[in-house]
Amino acid sequence: MTTTDSSATPQTPKGKRRIGDVVFANTASGSGILILAILAGVAAFLIIQSVDSLGANTANFFTTTGWDANTREAPAFGVAALAFGTVLAAAIALLIATPIAVGIALFIAYYAPRKLASVLGYIVDLLAAIPSVVYGLWGIGYLVHQLTPFYQWLSTSFGWIPLFAGPVSSTGRTMMSAGIVLAVMILPIITAISRDVFLQVPQAHREAALSLGATRWEMIRMAVLPFGRAGIIGGAMLGLGRALGETMAVAMILSPALVISPHLLQSGNQTIAAHIALQYPEATGYGVSALIAAGLVLFAITLVVNMGARYIVARRKEFTE
Amino acid sequence: MTTTTKKSSTGASGDGPAPMQRTLLTGSLPRYFAPALLAGVAIVTGGLLFALGTFSIPLFAVFTVVTYTVLVTLASARIESGRKAKDRLVTAVVYTCFGLAMVPLISLLWTVARMGVVRLDGYFLTVSMNGVTPTMDAGGVYHAIVGTIAITGFAALVSIPIGLMTAIYLVEYGRGRLKNAITFFVDVMTGIPSIVAGLFVVALWMVFFGPGTTNGAAGAVALSVLMIPVVVRSCEEMIRLVPNELREASYALGVPKWLTVVKVVLPTAIAGITTGIMLAIARVIGETAPLILTAGSSAVAINWNLFDGQMMSLPVFIYSQVRMGDAINYERAWAAALTLILIVMLLFFVARLVSRFFAPKFGR
Amino acid sequence: MAKRIDVSGLHVYYGDFKAVEDVSMTIEPRAVTAFIGSSGCGKSTFLRALNRMHEVAPNARVEGKVMLDDQDIYAPDVDPVAVRREIGMVFQRPNPFPTMSIYDNVIAGAKLNNQRLGRTEADDIVERSLHGANLWEEVKDRLSKPGAGLSGGQQQRLCIARAIAVEPAVLLMDEPCSALDPISTLAIEDLIAKLKENYTICIVTHNMQQAARVSDQTAFFNLAGTGKPGRLIEMDETNKIFTKPDKKETENYITGRFG
Ligand SMILES: Nc1ncnc2c1ncn2[C@@H]1O[C@H](COP(=O)(O)OP(=O)(O)O)[C@@H](O)[C@H]1O
Ligand SMILES: [Mg+2]
């Protein structure tokens, strides 16, 4: 490449370069640049195609809850309810999944026998490989029926908390169900990242703790958790990114309504992604463009969350290397 | 306090029984205590629940785990020490977490298998839904399998060269800002929601082919957006594993860099690359949302043409059957889900086998 | 076949860091030249600059001149790839290609360069090179087995066979025996003695006895100080270096009193 030749003999620029090398190197870097272009293209095309409807929108896009976009005359739509639902579903999923995922990661890293640990690695990967539509089918076709009695109990015992207020949906097609299925779906990624970080904890730190007579839990608390905190946070944020963007599980399970409601055991609420999937086939007028605008919001949210997560995980890496 | 053992010399909070001369064995529960206690608790709760006539597996599991955790912690605090009790508590919690994760996996696989076999047979796999009304006791997924193969195949055809070349760039050529930017944005790209990838293609197709154009190629492009970063990541990892010594050996023989990459690096990494690509295919083969938007969700007939007309796929088939909502639709959905899971698992395990048996051994 | 190497005023840098400073020497054909010196004094760096292998490191560059007979290997129109075909290299750890058989490893230089070889021509090269590397008798019955299946010493001789199969003029060896057991080391040393009839050989070694046994000329490198570049302290007949070196530094190193 452009390293030595020029400095050795400053008067001439470069030695001979072979045609094969030039073509190959340029194809390789061209592919990389193409990826940047695709990502830029995603943003650009979403913006271009959403301008149309946003210009015609007669309501405030960010504060309106309704979705009256399938018309050419005075559309009025907004993402307020959708954004709320998206964050709510993801928050439920994250609250359930993170502690369990950290527990599994600790189990794989420090509790399970070596052989079992690698099998568990497989199983976590397998959990990640199951298509989301199958999770959705399992959720709607099986899980919601199992959960309804539990919801009944939750509502009678803790109904005074608004989150669990009745009347409980008889179908179980609620935000809580969607959140639980999302939690199962994001378990693998949080587990995988936490486990990787735990395994990076220098042996010396761990042995130092153990040689002081610490119990396994004390070793984890003293040596592993402080070291792995950024990794757990980063992993959780990646899980959050996935939960925010997950479509099928919510679209299939939730019985939607464009409202902002805190009642997790009743039907209602809706997420951006599920709304797009459900509305798109019937969209007319400004409909498609309005959905693209909603998609742009989702894209922006997940972009911020993912970049934050990557930043945290990457900084963690620099520390350890 | 005596300081004859390590345990007491660390002097942590809540030390156990009264001061006494300890040996390394004093104040510890026997090895069989935990399993024995667990078994005991299980028998008692099981019996109680049966007696009350409210036995159900989830209830049984919850009561057993909670009771066991409380008892083992108390026993340890009493006989061992506060520190040990905490350790036992955490151990119980960690094991529980692991058990909790197994529940949905097993439940899901079992349910899909049980419900799926009802309708999954040769007929189901070899006929389409052409001319079948939604509630008719007929029809199958052949057209959806065709669509899945065509769309995923085309997506792979687009993604593999781009992803592989980018990985080569990152490992063999990249430096400076461009390399860092690509690394970062590939990571970011893995986080694009699949529905957004679908919308992107909708917007793109609108510009180039007019609104409402749905075809298999659009679906494939959407899947490529999702697949490329996965391919880059796994290929990059595998190419990085190739020892530098092999590259140097090749250079020292007077082989140019590009031939070194093509003939030494890639063949050495090929098993890992194949595995990575198969896993990437397994990831996108179940994508649904982008296909609803781009390839349509109402095709019923066999269509091998990526560039003309809607194309059904297995995941979209499952979704649209669920949307119809009758019992027969659910039967079809379960059978299709079983088909899809079997395909994904097949890819998954073949990928593992490839990496296990075909990876070159780096000598020594 | 063997060619002379003339180095004058060679400096090697890694970015801003100067690793080797102002080395001039003549490396005679059909002889073995040993490079000795403490770790990190730039022996490998210098050796790699002789066939432009240092260019593999992203920020490495050289100043000065290296002549191979009457050709400047750093002349602007010279292709580093062509230089490496003339000046082969053997590394510290044996590195046969794990995806190739013994046979293919030997003709890797041709195969990787997409050269078409006839079957008999290839067989000839393989047999000649393996004979040349004293390995033929040991592997002639399992040429289609993977190269990585051989012992460490056999692998290293396979790497030497691979290097001489492209018929270079010079062979550079960077601590070729340091990963091997004594018996394999002896085999390689015997081989070096035989190879010098046809090639110019440079060998980096940490083993003083080895330098004394195999080399005709010895060059002693040392650091000018911590963080300073490595320099050539003295170069002479091996005999002279090990019996009455001109420089105090050399003597200290040879006798194990250095610092
Ligand atoms: N690729 C590289 N990049 C930067 N510095 C290097 C590189 N390779 C070697 N060095 C530095 O150059 C100096 C000489 O190293 P080297 O030639 O390997 O020494 P020797 O082979 O004599 O032990 C050392 O200080 C080493 O750290
Ligand atoms: Mg060295």
Q: Please report the pLDDT score of residue A127 as a whole number.
A: 83
Is C202 strand, coil or helix?
strand
Partners of C151 on chain B (C-beta within 8 Å) are: none
> What one-character DSSP code corresponds to residue A110?
I
Q: Residue ranges of the domains in chain B?
A: 33-116, 126-358
For B182, residues 6+ apart whose C-beta sits below 8 A from its C-beta are A32, A33, A35, A36, B166, B169, B170, B174
CB A133 to CB B334 under 8 A?
no
| Amino acid code (one letter) for C244 | K
Each residue's pLDDT tens digit, A251-300: 999 999 898 988 889 888 999 999 999 999 999 989 999 999 999 999 99
What is the CATH topology of the domain spanning C5-254? Answer: Rossmann fold (3.40.50)
* Number of the ligand 1 atom closest to the C-alpha atom of C43: 22
**Closest C-alpha to ligand 1, atom 5:** C14
> CA angle, corner A253, sides to A248 and A254, nearest 5?
105
The residue-averaged pLDDT of C8-34 equals 93
Full DSSP string of A179-224:
HHHHHHHHHHHHHHHHHHHHHHS-HHHHHHHHHTT--HHHHIIIII
Task: Check if the beta carbon of residue C159 is closer than 8 Å to that of residue C96.
Answer: yes
Q: pLDDT tens across C102-112, in order?
A: 999 999 999 99
Q: Domain locations in chain C?
A: 5-254
Q: pLDDT of A210-224, one tens digit each?
A: 888 788 888 888 888
Condensed to tens digits (0 to 9), the pLDDT of residues B230-273 reads 999 999 999 999 999 999 999 999 999 999 999 999 999 999 99
Provide the 8-state DSSP code for B44: H
Tell me whether residues C79 and A14 touch, CB distance under 8 A.
Answer: no
pLDDT at A16: 56
Tokens of C153: 């010493």
- Nearest CB to B362: which of C90, C98, C111? C98
- Name every residue whose Cβ is closer than 8 Å to that of residue A247 and which is 6 or more positions away in sequence: A132, A273, A274, A276, A277, B193, B194, B195, B288, B289
DSSP-derived letter for residue A169 is P
Counting ligands in written order, which one lies closest to the CA of residue C221?
1
Q: What is the pLDDT of residue A321?
A: 44
Residues B289, A130: C-beta atoms closer than 8 Å: no
**DSSP output for A279-292:** HGGG--TTHHHHHH
Confidence of residue C20 (pLDDT cuts 50, 70, 90): very high
Contacts of C147 in chain B (CB under 8 A): 363
Measured in angstroms, how far is the CA atom of residue C12 from the centroid of ligand 1? Answer: 10
Q: In chain B, whose CA is at the least distance from the CA of A41?
A: B200
Tell if the CB–CB gap between A15 and C62 is shorter than 8 Å. Answer: no
**Ligand 2: centre distance to CA C91 (Å):** 10
Q: How many residues does chain A have?
A: 321
Give whole-number Cα distances, A133 to B199, C95, C205, in Å.
18, 48, 63
Nearest to A302 among B102, B193, B232 (CB): B193
Structure tokens at B287: 């994508």
| Residues ≥6 apart with Cβ < 8 Å to A262 | A162, A163
The single residue listed with the structure tokens 């090697």 is C12
Q: What angle do CA B268, B271, B277 make, to 5 degrees?
A: 125
Q: Which ligand is nearest to the CA of C41?
A: 1
B207 has a chain C CB within 8 A of its CB? no
CA closest to B94 among chain A residues: A103
pLDDT recorded at residue C158: 95
Q: How far is the CA of C21 from the centre of ligand 1 (A)?
A: 13
pLDDT of residue B18: 46
| Regions in chain B scoring below 50 on pLDDT | 1-21, 363-364
Percent of chain A predicted with pLDDT > 90: 52
Q: How far is the CA of C47 from the centre of ligand 2 (A)?
A: 9
**How big is the A-B interface in CB pairs under 8 Å?**
284
**Domain map (residue ranges) of chain A:** 81-269
Q: Is the pLDDT of residue C47 over 70?
A: yes
What dihedral do alpha carbons A97, A99, A105, A109 form, nearest 10°?
A: -170
pLDDT grade, residue A9 (50/70/90)?
very low
- All residues of chain A having their beta carbon less than 8 Å from the beta carbon of residue C78 are 15-16
Rounded-to-integer distance, Cα B22 and Cα B141, Å: 71
Q: Does B175 touch chain C (CB under 8 A)?
A: yes
Of A29, A107, A307, the CB nearest to B98: A107
Q: Contact C58/A18, CB-based, under 8 Å? A: no
What is the distance in angstroms between the Cα of B171 and the nearest Cα belonging to chain C? 12
Model confidence at A11, in pLDDT bands (50, 70, 90)?
Answer: very low
Q: Calculate how close chain B gets to C82, using CA atoms only, in Å.
A: 6
* Cβ contact, residue pair A134, B318, below 8 Å: yes
Are β-strands C200-204 and C170-174 bridged in parallel, bridged antiparallel, or unpaired? Answer: parallel
Ramachandran bin of C192, using left for φ above 0, alpha for ψ from -120 to 50, beta for the remaining angles: alpha
Q: Are residues C98 and B252, on separate chains, in Cβ contact within 8 Å?
A: no
Residue B250 CB neighbours (<10 A)? 25
Question: C151-207, pLDDT tens digit by residue?
Answer: 999 999 999 999 999 999 999 999 999 888 888 899 899 999 999 999 999 999 988
Average of per-residue pLDDT values in chain C: 91
Instruction: For CA atoms B301, B302, B305, B311, give the dihedral sign.
Output: positive
Q: Which of C14, C91, C93 has the most ligand 1 atoms within 8 A of CB, as the residue to mutate? A: C14
Q: Which residues of B77-101 are buried (b: 16+ CB within 10 A; e: fewer)?
A: bebbbebbbbbbbbbbbbbbbbebb
B360:C91 CB<8 A: no
Closest CA to B273 of B231, B306, B308, B301: B231
List pocket residues of ligand 1, CB cut-off 6 Å. Answer: C 14, 17, 19, 39-45, 57
B289·A248 Cβ contact <8 A = yes
- The count of CB pairs under 8 A between chains A and C is 40
- Atom 4 of ligand 1, nearest CA residue: C14
Report CA-CA distances (Å) from C207 to A215, A222, C177, C214: 49, 46, 9, 11
**Which residues, numbered 76 to 95 in chain A, qualify as contacts with chain B under a Cβ-Cβ cut-off of 8 Å?**
none
Contacts of B321 (CB under 8 A, 6+ apart): B329, B330, B332, B333, B336
The pairing of strands A76-77 and A67-68 is: antiparallel
- Which residue from B minimizes the CA distance to A280? B293
Residues of A with CB under 8 A from a CB of C: 1, 3-5, 7-9, 12-16, 18
Choose among B83, B195, B334: nearest Cβ to A276: B195
Q: Whose CA is nearest to atom 20 of ligand 1?
A: C40
CATH number, span B126-358: 1.10.3720.10
The predicted-structure confidence for C223-232, as pLDDT tens digits, reads as follows: 888 888 999 9
pTM: 0.87
**b vs e for C241-256, b when ≥16 Cβ sit within 10 Å of the residue's Cβ?**
bbeebeeebbbebbee
Do B255 and C81 count as a contact with CB atoms less than 8 A apart?
yes
Whether A7 has a pLDDT exceeding 70, the answer reads: no
Q: Please calculate the CA angle C216-C220-C222 and round it to the nearest 5 degrees.
A: 170
Q: What is the pLDDT of residue B16?
A: 43
Which SS3 state, helix, strand or coil, does residue B235 take? helix
Site from A134, A237, A296 to mutate, B interface, most B CB atoms within 10 angstroms = A134
Range A81-269 classified under CATH 1.10.3720.10: yes
Cβ-nearest to C98 among B175, B250, B268: B268
C207 CA → ligand 2 middle, Å = 13
What is the crossing angle of helices B314-324 and B327-358, to 10°?
Answer: 160
Q: Residues B191, B195, B198, B203: is their CA dihedral positive or negative?
A: negative
* Residue bearing the CA closest to ligand 1, atom 3: C14
- Per the CB < 8 A criterion, the answer to whether A177 and A253 are in contact is yes
- Cβ(A3)–Cβ(A17) below 8 Å: no
Q: What distance in Å separates the CA atoms of residue B299 and residue B276, rounded to the nearest whole number?
A: 32
**Chains interfacing with C (3 or more CB pairs < 8 Å):** A, B
Q: What is the pLDDT of residue A1?
A: 39
Q: Residues near B20 by Cβ (< 8 Å), separated by ≥ 6?
A: B2, B26
Please report the pLDDT score of residue A14 as a whole number.
42
